[in-house]
């Protein structure tokens, strides 16, 4: 079997390196590449298309440069925390609305999915990590009133719905984290995983790709 190429498209959670205690070899991308290659007994190459602070709207604009130039077989798509966020990096302040509306989040994902399929690759959608009590802006009024993850949960459901409607592969990171209270220790700043968090996420990716690739 030929080399399998995977592009990991996303934000700072996908990029990972340089955040907290995480080095490149600690990222879930690196672990996916090294561990899946051993399990599958073929060369798996994972390319980093994670950009800190990115949202689906701007990700669309960089697909050709950051994704399709590698001619991937699979593209993992992990967005949501920034899209759902009230925080505006440009001004380091909180706004009145999420950076991307629910309607636009869905349509942006559909554009990304179509582009991936048009480039003869298979999309694998990933739900975002929920925020936790360590998040710096947890006391923002909308979060106090509605719950810290009320929009992240809504956007995660949009991803699940799209996968159900289109019969796409799904890695439901959001559900796993929400169902296990101990995972709070994997996200020390409320958003970004530490080394153990990346290991945890890598195992979720590996489990799905073992199924996708039909590895015995």
Tell me: the pLDDT tens digits for 128-177? 999 999 999 999 999 999 999 999 999 999 999 999 999 999 999 999 99
The predicted model gives 177-194 an average pLDDT of 96
pLDDT grade for 1, boundaries at 50, 70 and 90: low
Tell me how far apart the alpha carbons of residues 212 and 36 are, in angstroms, rounded to a whole number.
12
Supply the pLDDT for residue 184.
Answer: 96
CA dist 13 and 201 (Å) reads: 10
Q: What is the pLDDT of residue 20?
A: 85
Q: What is the mean pLDDT of residues 42-62?
A: 98
> In degrees to the nearest 10, what's the CA dihedral of 206, 212, 214, 215?
-10
Q: How far apart are CA 57 and CA 47, in angstroms?
A: 21
Q: 47 pLDDT band (50/70/90 cuts)?
A: very high
Question: In the prediction, which pLDDT does 58 show?
Answer: 98
Domain range 4-212, CATH architecture: 3-Layer(aba) Sandwich (3.40)
pLDDT given at position 2: 78
> Where are the chain's structural domains?
4-212
Q: Percent of the chain, pLDDT > 90? A: 94
Determine the pLDDT at residue 19.
87
Q: How many CA atoms, within 13 angstroms, populate the side-chain half-sphere of residue 25?
A: 0
């Amino acid at each position: 079997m030929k080399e399998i190429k995977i592009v990991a498209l996303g934000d700072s959670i996908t990029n990972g390196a340089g955040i907290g205690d995480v080095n490149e070899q600690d990222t879930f991308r690196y672990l996916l590449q090294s561990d899946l290659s051993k399990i599958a007994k073929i060369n798996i190459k994972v390319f980093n298309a994670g950009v800190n602070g990115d949202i689906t709207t701007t990700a669309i604009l960089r697909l050709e440069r950051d994704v399709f130039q590698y001619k991937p077989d699979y593209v993992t798509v992990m967005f949501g925390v920034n899209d759902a966020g009230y925080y505006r990096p440009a001004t380091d302040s909180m706004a009145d609305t999420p950076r991307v509306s629910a309607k636009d989040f869905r349509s942006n994902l559909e554009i990304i999915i179509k582009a991936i399929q048009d480039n003869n690759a298979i999309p694998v959608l990933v739900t975002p990590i929920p925020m936790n009590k360590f998040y710096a802006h947890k006391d923002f009024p909308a979060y106090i009133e509605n719950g810290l993850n009320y929009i992240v949960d809504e956007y995660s459901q949009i991803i699940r719905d799209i996968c159900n409607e289109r019969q796409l592969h799904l890695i439901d990171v959001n559900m796993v984290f929400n169902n296990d209270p101990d995972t709070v220790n994997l996200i020390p700043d409320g958003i970004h995983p530490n080394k153990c968090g990346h290991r945890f996420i890598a195992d979720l990716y590996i489990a799905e790709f073992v199924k996708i690739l039909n590895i015995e």
